[in-house]
Structure 1
Amino acid sequence: YRDHAAFAEALTAELRPVEPAYAKLFETLSLAVDAEDVLDRARIFGQEQLFLTGVRVLAGTVSAEAAGQAFARLAEQLIKALYQAVNDWIVAAHGSIPGMRTAVIAMGKLGGREMTAGSDLDLILLYDHDPSENASDGPRPLTGSHYFSRMTQRLISALSAPTSEGVLFEVDLRLRPSGRSGPVATHIDGFRAYQTKEAWTWEHMALTRARVIAATPGFEADVSEAIRRVLTARRPAKATLADIVDMRRAIAEDKGDGDRWDLKYVRGGLIDIEFVAQALQLVHGARHPDILDTNTIRVLDKAAAAGLLKPSEGDALRSACRFYQRLTQILRLCLVDVFDPKTAAPGLKRLLARAGELPDFATVDAHLAEVQKQVRKAFEAIVGPL
């Protein structure tokens, strides 16, 4: 942070409202002299904001939930700014295609506004254009699919390529239709057809966290409606739940599920809670569309209010989710490798105890074991036995 006085003021301040905080981002990018300068300025801004939020988490002045939203809000604003810059660069080099529209969809932790300091960005880019026109009108014209693939690749590079000011985020496009084998950008009609006719249950699970974060005016509504139609489609409950159980079993076989401090993958860990929230949406979305939400805790809130969860199950899952999020924020900020209680520094254990709102680390460890039993019990009652 280049201005020490500003750093001290920012560190003790509340998390800023969206508009005042990000007006600075667009202002600083507007002063860039070239494309490389745009990327450097975005990285300086992003790293400063990530650092400030991280320090607040460690200092205990911001909750894990607020930090997750702040990390996601930062990523979203950086994506919006660089999406606009990339669009301008592509149009300058290749022109535009009549009627073209694009949208960036956030998935995963960004989609759910549950990011940590180390989260990557799960993104999908969708596009549309006049069906009678399939080439851009610039000095170096490109056909439709190549044009939008170039735009997507340029956006990924703007977000993830190292410059003299470092890296912003790792970007993952594997949740796009057909995964690694599919095009990096997808036509909206192809997206609709794939999700309706070809997508696996796990892809619909991932879609429950999808939301548009940057788009050509008017296109966001079309994309959001396409997502909603998929999630509110009627599907066989028994087969859907069986698919989710199989998915959870496969992940356990691949990642292991016996390490209590692998908070995501352990039996009764965070992924069990997320799968419950996704199962509820896929099974009940047709009759209860109001439960749809990209955020795990809000889905559980809505499902409980609709009577789709027993009160005891809803309380246990929401409490566990918040507990895991508090611990995860600390671990992601402090460690690169996995957490090992046997070798962990005493200071880190004290931070975890404070984050867990318990008197000491031994109590956290014991409570964690009990929480995981409760979560697995709820998972098996709602989704199915493993």
Structure 2
Amino acid sequence: MTTDLTAAARPYSLFLARNLDSGRLEDEILLPMLGKVLNLEDFQTFADWAKIRADEDEAELAKQLRRLRRYVVSQIIVRDLNRISDLNEVTRTITLFADFAVNTALDFAYAYYRDLYGTPMGRYTQSPQHLSVVAMGKAGGYELNVSSDIDLIFVYGESGVTDGRRERENQEFFTKVGQKLIALLNDITADGRVFRVDMRLRPDGDSGALVLSETALEQYLIQQGREWERYAWCKGRVVTPFPNDIKGLVRPFVFRKYLDYNAYEAMRSLHRQIRSEVSKKGMENNVKLGAGGIREVEFIAQIFQMIRGGQMRALQLKGTQETLLKLGGLGVLPAETVETLLAAYRFLRDVEHRLQYWDDQQTQTLPENAEQQQLLAESMGFTDYAAFSDGLNAHREKVNALFNEILSEPEEQADGAAGEWAWVWQRGADETELQGRLKNAGFDAETVAARLENIRNGNKYRHLSAHAQPRFDAVVPLFAQAAASQSNPTETLLRLLDFLENISRRSAYLAFLNEHPQTLAHLAQIMSQSAWVAGYLTQYPILLDELISAQLLDTAFDWSKLAAELSDGLDNCGGDTEAQMDTLRRFQHAQVFRLAVQDLAGLWTVEALSDQLSLLADTVIAAVLPRVWADMPKKHRDTPEFAVISYGKLGGKELGYTSDLDLVYLYDDADPDAQDAYTRLACRLTNWLSAPTGAGSLYEVDLRLRPEGDSGFMAYSLAAFEKYQREKAWTWEHQALTRARFVCGKPEIRTAFDRIRTAILTAERDSDGLKREIIEMREKMFPSHPPADSNVKYARGGVVDVEFTVQYLVLAHSRRYPALLDNYGNIALLDIAADYGLIDKNLAGQCRNAYRFYRLQQHNTKLRDAEKVEVNAELTGHYESVRKLWRDVFGEEVKR
């Protein structure tokens, strides 16, 4: 059966036929290899590598590596042409062999020179040093072709000298090792070569040192690293087993912490160079470099890695296919786009391989010979070359269309707009003429002109780089045009200019505005409606990216999916606490911004929005708890016996954009170290949620509702919490408990907490005494929060009066009516109380409407630039309804 496989494959490969006919492929070796996927063990058992190294038999090592390559390549060809293997097997097998060949040659070369000069030692650590080999390009991404060269970079840990009698500097020692490694793989002998070795991707290329220390590499990347080198290093993979810090020093060079829209122009520039070469050399039939070829698929995958890889560590991948799949999974690219690109990529790579199978040549150019064309078509499953060409061209056209869509030049319409409004930002413009045109466009001319002049003469603008200033200049007229179409053009433009100045030092954000001019109108519309959102975006300009997200106006928040995405993002931080805290903040900011934009578009009611903001906070806290515990030293158990309880607005699911989180931490653990451990956990958890980082702030956390308030412990045992609630808690603390709920943690604590809460809230109470205490509590607020009608929270008949009334109803009647215990929020609880006849049903409806109205006023004050609540008949009518309810429930007005 296996001989049938070789017979079926040989018409499509001169290389295979030549080696079969010459007897250079022995059946007893090749045929068993055809029935399996080759792995490292197969390579290791092919020859006695240890003896070859011990004998220092360089010629034999070169011979056996070349023999092994012959068999590996033949095995790949036969399995692929018989459609036994897929693309992943083909590229992984040859890449694994390349890794093996590099390490085998390196072991030999290192031992050879160590015997001559001794072991290279680190100058500072005095420890043995080794050469790390970094595979770049296709070798780095496990994407090699059978006839690929391998791009390598050599790095050693530390400078120093060898410890032998013939002392050598480590630089010289490792240069010799590298040269011998290259010769063992690259030199052509009677058995051919193993791989062509290309070292031109090393720092300074052919003119640079063959090897360099980690320190030298880091300094080069920081001081001289060029944009194209970022793309090269994106696939860089250390293939040797020695300890090194190469990944750590390369990552910040490749993946920027912010969204790097500069990558667009850099990638375009690189692609323009390639297209120029293709055109000069007539390489249009090159399936790698021609339009719609393999390189364009790779560029599409890499552009998103470059832009977002610093933010989304899940995108810090090596392979093209895995990157495309991840882009689809993260929603960065539509699923159908990913499927189109993957299908094309696999087809094109299959073609590439068959071109190279023909005569083991590194070629990607379609054949001109009719006979070879027919054989290529048949090997790809087509009846003739015309049908094959149709299939190939269909894939290439789809890839090229997507490539042009994703990496096309910024829209031409932007140039027109910039030209039309260029007068706004012209140097040396006549001030009178400028103000006249601004006034005609609807602006407060004097204010805007002064602001523009202030910017032009300011340090930020004058110190912009030669690269950034033209981008800044291009955006100002576009912002003016976008602002002019808003109902408040002056305020809008001033907010846009504040934003522009704030981001001006980050040329990547300026690049975004130049790349996506279609977003400027939307940006102006958002900023015109809300100073708060404008400030939020100015504080977190990374949110610009959300403006081009397909999910921006999608109100279908799948919180389980979002929680999974957040979890993946945190896991991809590799245990780096700062990176995890930044990931949390970026996730939360993105969801808040998305909700705010939807809110401005009128897509949410206040209640529904509060539900979403509360679910967001729940999701964040639930993600933080296990990470904080995992990050803690000296833990007495693997899983904490701990829970987070929310009070206040989060407890009642009435969270606003800037609400504090009122939290209480409970544990149920008899271990003698429990109090100390959970106190530390509580402190760290609070810090993760509230401390500002480079990515900004998350939440303000208020712990004053815990037992004993600020003087109490950070975390309480369940038993202590229950004892406090039964024996020491004030009535106001039981009022607060009506809105408390479990957020996350150990499920058994949730059960116990609900039991304690129910027991406390349903305890027998003196109704009159309870009324007096609540009335007294309300009166105590007056000195610090006077009940002015313009303040809907503290006004007589306002928010607090509704909340106190509901809390009384829960505390006084939940013993008989357990439905009042459910934490549905004040609006629902008023309805439940009315259903049980505890309050008048019509009045309950009026008070529900009043409460909704109050919350909307509070919300608009924050979001929609409402400076203060207008005291009118509608508002005073709502106040009167709530005051009537208060009188019905408590039997008297509170004293003013």
Counterpart check, 1:74 vs 2:616: yes
Q: Which amino acid aligns with 2:766?
A: P
How much has 1:253 moved relative to structure 2? 2.6
CA-to-aligned-CA distance 1:3-58 (integer Å, 9 cap, x gap): 74764422221241322232221121111130111100000000111111122222
For 1:276, which of 800, 805, 814 is the aligned residue? 805
Paired residue secondary structure (2:784) = helix
How many aligned residue pairs are there? 350
Contact 2:649 2:655 in 1 (8 A): yes
Structure 2: unaligned runs, 5 residues or longer = 1-541
Instruction: State the partner residue of 1:122.
Output: 662
Partner of 2:826: 296
2:652 to 106, 112, 115: 112
Q: Secondary structure of 1:104's partner?
A: strand
Classify the secondary structure of the residue corresponding to 1:212. Answer: strand
The residue type equivalent to 1:209 in the other structure is R
Query: Following TM superposition, by how much is the alpha carbon of 1:63 offset from its aligned partner in structure 2, in angstroms?
Result: 0.9
Highest relative contact order (Cα 8 Å, sep 6+), 1 or 2?
1
Matched, 1:377 2:869: no
Equivalent residue for 1:19? 560
Q: CA deviation at 1:334?
A: 4.6
What secondary structure is seen at the aligned counterpart in 1 of 2:611?
A: helix
Counterparts of residues 123-272 of structure 1 (less than 5 Å): 123-130=663-670, 133-135=671-673, 144-258=674-788, 260-272=789-801
Aligned position for 2:12 = none
Contact 2:799–2:851 under 8 Å retained in 1 = yes
Distance 1:281 1:6, change over 3 A: same
The residue type equivalent to 1:324 in the other structure is Y
Aligned residue for 2:552, secondary structure, equals helix
Residues 350-384 of structure 1 deviation map (CA, whole Å, 9 limit, x = unaligned): xxxxxxxxxxxx7x833112111211221122134
Distance 2:549 2:640 in 1: 46
Contact 1:245/1:384 (CA < 8 Å) preserved in 2?
no
Partner-residue secondary structure (3-state), 1:218: helix
Structure 2 partner of 1:352: none
**SS of equivalent to 1:167:** coil
Does structure 1 residue 31 correspond to structure 2 residue 560?
no
Distance in structure 1 (CA, Å) of the matches to 2:706 and 2:786: 26
Q: Find the aligned partners of 1:219 and 1:290 in 2 and give their Cα distance.
A: 22
The answer to whether the 8 A contact 1:99-1:128 is kept is: no
Q: Distance in 2 between matches of 1:45 and 1:57?
A: 18
Q: 2:820 matched to 1:311? A: no
Report the residue type matching 1:257 in the other structure. P
SS in 1 for 2:664: strand
Of the two, which has the highest radius of gyration? 2
* RMSD, aligned α-carbons: 1.9
- The letter for the 2-side match of 1:26 is S
Aligned to 1:47: 589
State how far apart, in whole Å, the 1-side matches of 2:550 and 2:836 are: 44
Instruction: Return the letter of the residue paired with 1:157.
Output: N
The residue matched to 2:838 in structure 1 has which SS?
coil
Q: Contact 2:546–2:594 (CA<8 Å) still a contact in 1?
A: no
| Contact 1:50-1:117 at 8 Å conserved across structures | yes
Offset of residue 275 of structure 1: 0.7
Identical aligned residues as a percent: 34
What is the CA–CA distance in structure 2 between the aligned matches of 1:266 and 1:107, rounded to whole Å? 23
Do the aligned partners of 2:543 and 2:593 also contact (CA within 8 Å) in 1? no
**1:96 is matched with which residue?**
636
Structure 1 distance, partners of 2:553, 2:667, is 43
How much does 1:193 deviate? 0.6
Q: CA separation in 1, counterparts of 2:828 and 2:798?
A: 18
Corresponding position of 1:286: 815
Give the corresponding residue for 2:625: 83
TM-score, normalised to structure 1's length? Answer: 0.86
Q: What is the CA-CA distance between 1:320 and the residue it aligns to?
A: 0.9
- Give the counterpart letter for 1:39 in structure 2: M
Larger CA deviation: 159-168 vs 315-324: 315-324
| Higher mean C-alpha deviation, range 266-275 or range 14-23 | 14-23
Describe how 1:336-351 pairs up with structure 2 within 5 A.
339-340=867-868
Cα drift, residue 316 of structure 1? 1.4
Distance 1:21 1:380 in 2: 46
CA distance in 1, matches of 2:841, 2:546: 49
What amino acid maps onto 2:888 in structure 1?
A
Alpha-carbon spacing, 1:97–1:339, altered in 2? closer, same or farther (3 Å): same
Shift of 1:99: 9.2
* 1:367 pairs with 2:874: yes
| Counterpart Cα distance in 2 of 1:211 and 1:37 | 30
Q: Deviations over 1:197-234 (max 9, x none)?
A: 11110000000001000111322111111111111111
Which whole-Å CA distance do the structure 2 matches of 1:242 and 1:146 have between them? Answer: 40
Distance in 2 between residues matched to 1:213 and 1:7, nearest whole Å: 33
TM-score by length of 2: 0.38
1:12 alignment partner, SS class: coil
- The alpha carbon displacement at 1:98 in A equals 9.3
The amino acid across from 1:367 in the alignment is: E
2:853 counterpart letter in structure 1: F
Alpha-carbon contact 1:269-1:375 (below 8 Å) kept? yes
- Map residues 317-356 of structure 1 onto 2, 5 A cutoff: 317-334=847-864, 339-340=867-868
Moved more, 278-287 or 312-321: 312-321
